[in-house]
Amino acid sequence: MNTAIAPKPIINLSGVTKSFGTTQVLKEINLDVRQGEVLVLIGASGSGKSTVLRIMSGLETADAGEVWVNEVPLHDARRAREIRGHVGMVFQQFNLFPHMTALENVTEAPVRVKGVAPATAGAAARRLLDRVGLADKLGCYPAELSGGQQQRVAIARALVQEPEIILADEPIASLDPRNTQVVMDALQHINRHFGITVICNLHSLDLARKYCDRLVGLAAGRVVFDGAPAALTDRVARDLYGLESADVLGHAARPDFVPGARPGLALAGS
């Protein structure tokens, strides 16, 4: 008998609902994210992927339901700072300060927000920039870096906070294929080497299948798929994306039956 203990949920969403104006974007989302996994959110534009990440990070507040991060309720304002300390955020637009070098962009938050000594923060920033392959770019400004290099600076900036979770919102959307692979390899390395839980939105299903441990599919604000990459057949993907499927599949058709796929993972309510 297998007595292994499953990793504890590091993020829990229970009955989460969110509207913007009269548009309901999320509809009773229930989701557990396990510690140490790479989870990729997939779904058509407008399905609610980015809103889920923004709620996990505390950038948006749910209208209803509960959100727990590392066993701390996100609605507890008294512990908001503690919660944010668990989470690092990487954005599609990089969000680097244009007047600061790569090293200064990574060093700025621990010095200004946490009061870390500049020498200590600088040493940590150098180590992390080396980890993401930018040891020779410390003195470069964002305009002197490629998109992939800027995104790796943003990843180092998130890591310098020593988070337990990295949330990456469409981190490769504006990158070419080579930089896409470099950035995804960096996120995978972070997960494997540091044990940091990584949650990101991706548009390409090929990349999602290659890099993630688990896929969660959203459609019209609901979770409609949750399982291993092998369980996501092209037929299910077409149900998720509709007319967009040709853009996101990007490969020859796969069989609809995949040996070893987990049962019970077909689209709910379809």
pLDDT, the chain, mean? 84
What pLDDT, on the 0 to 100 scale, is given for residue 2?
52
In this predicted structure, the answer to whether residue 219 has a pLDDT above a threshold of 60 is yes
Tell me the two tokens of residue 160: 């310098």
- Strand-pairing partners, residue 88, are 166
pLDDT in tens, 75-118: 766 666 667 778 899 988 888 999 999 999 999 988 887 788 88
Q: Is residue 46 part of a domain?
A: yes
Assign 257 to helix, strand or coil.
Answer: coil
Decide if 158 contacts 90 (C-beta within 8 A): yes
Which pLDDT belongs to residue 249? 55
**Residue 104 forms part of a structural domain:** no
Residue 151: closest CA among 212, 211, 91, 88:
91
Task: Tell me: pLDDT of 267 over 60.
Answer: no
Q: How far apart are CA 245 and CA 233, in angstroms?
A: 12
How many alpha carbons fall within 13 Å on the CB side of residue 103?
16
Q: How many domains does the chain have?
A: 1
157 in a structural domain: no
Q: Is residue 68 part of a domain?
A: yes
Residue 219 bridge partners (DSSP) = 222
Radius of gyration, alpha carbons of the chain: 19
Helix or strand (DSSP H, E) at 7 = none
Alpha carbon separation from 269 to 25, 47, 221, 222, 266 (Å, rounded): 18, 16, 13, 10, 9
CATH label of the domain that carries residue 52: 3.40.50.300
- Per the DSSP assignment, residues forming a β-bridge with 9 are 34
The answer to whether the beta carbons of residues 139 and 172 sit under 8 Å apart is: no
Q: Give 85's DSSP letter.
A: H
* pLDDT for position 263: 33
- Residue 53 lies inside a defined structural domain of this protein: yes
Mind listing the pLDDT tens digit for each residue in 238-265? 778 775 555 555 543 344 433 333 333 3
The model's pTM is 0.83
- The pLDDT assigned to 270 comes to 30
Residue 150 identity (one-letter amino acid): Q
Of 87, 14, 8, give the one whose Cα is nearest residue 54. 87
pLDDT at res. 256: 42
Distance of alpha carbon 157 from alpha carbon 94, whole angstroms? 10
Supply the range of the domain harboring residue 217.
9-94+165-248
Tell me if 188 sits within 8 A of 36, measured CB to CB: no
Residue 151: CB partners within 8 Å, gap ≥ 6? Answer: 90, 94, 171, 172, 175, 179, 183
- Asked whether residue 154 is assigned to any structural domain, the reply reads no
- Give 112-161 pLDDT, tens digit per residue: 877 888 899 999 999 999 999 999 999 999 999 999 999 999 999 999 98
Question: What gap in Å lies between CA 208 and CA 211, rounded to an integer?
Answer: 6
Residue 1 lies in a domain: no
Partners of residue 24 on adjacent β-strands: 19
For residue 222, list its beta bridge partners: 219
How buried is 229 (Cβ within 10 angstroms: 0-12 exposed, 13-18 middle, 19+ buried)? middle
Please work out, in degrees rounded to the nearest 5, the angle formed at the alpha carbon of residue 214 by the alpha carbons of 208 and 218.
75
Condensed to tens digits (0 to 9), the pLDDT of residues 11-29 reads 999 999 999 999 999 999 9
Alpha-carbon gap, residue 192 to 190, rounded angstroms? 6
Residue 214: is its pLDDT beyond 70? Answer: yes
Kindly state whether residue 40 falls inside one of the protein's structural domains.
yes
Residues 171, 197, 24, 22, CA torsion sign: negative
